[in-house]
Chains A and B, each alone.
Chain A
Amino acid sequence: MPAFHDSATSIAPPEEVWKLLYDPSRFPDWWAGIGTVEVENDGEYTMYPDGYPNFPMAQLLETQRGQQRVTVSCLVSDLRFEWRLEPNGEGTRITVYVEIPETEAHRLDTQREIITSSMKRLAELAAVA
């Protein structure tokens, strides 16, 4: 399965990055390509891509005790994003592992670009929060 890692560092403390990462309603503020989000319950939410307000894509945000990560899964495309935060001095190291199903392998390069710009935006937004 195609996959990649990426990381970024924010000068913001972990709690400021954490609040943006654990609240799907904030994803449009930093995650490139996300237009709007409707949060349902228990980690379930619907994402509408930028420019496609009538194309709902069900998503799931999962957290698991014993694992310091949050996983976002697209229930339409089966893309999966595992996010981790670690203190880095007074700032935060943000890492993500992305898995792309074989049927979506053609999107690998695009997803790399999206994630790189999204992580940069997340790091910057947390720093001004």
Chain B
Amino acid sequence: APISRPLTRLAVAEALARGGQPDAAAEQIRATVLEPIGASDIPDALVPRLARVQGLVAVARGDRPEAERRFEEALAGWERLLERSVKADSVSSAVAALGRPVVGLVEPERELAKVREEIADAGVS
């Protein structure tokens, strides 16, 4: 399967943000949205992922209000996806197999938990 360039860039952005390089991380975020995106990149899951990484950049910059705003944005996106995946009949077999809702290969509950941990770690409300 082809590697997802947008997801790869977001992973690089996250690593740069956590490594204390917020400007370089922001450049990777910008590059992410300029990449060609296909259905296999699961675009609607990219939106909250990107918001979360923007939150990490804000944490790296010491900007707590911005970090809170971006993490809340990510939470709202994942909650929408979780609600959708819980409603979808097509998910029932995946839920039966895995015991939890999924969107494609994305697990909104796990992503939500990740963002909540990052909110706690960053000390934003």
Residues of A participating in the B interface, judged by any CB pair closer than 8 Å = 13-15, 18-19, 22-25, 39-43, 61-68, 70, 85, 87
**Are A19 and B47 interface neighbours, CB within 8 A?**
yes
**Are A22 and B43 interface neighbours, CB within 8 A?**
yes
Q: Is the interface of B mostly helix, strand, loop or mixed?
A: helix
**Are B38 and A63 interface neighbours, CB within 8 A?**
yes
Residues of B participating in the A interface, judged by any CB pair closer than 8 Å = 2, 29-30, 32-41, 43-44, 46-47, 50-51, 54, 77, 80, 84-85, 88, 90, 103-104
A24 to B47, CA, bound (A): 11
A61 nearest in chain B by CB position: B43
**A42 CB to nearest B CB, Å:** 6
Residue from the list A24, A61, A68 in contact with B36, Cβ < 8 A? A68
Q: Given A15-B29, A39-B80, are A68 and B34 also a contact pair (CB < 8 Å)?
A: yes
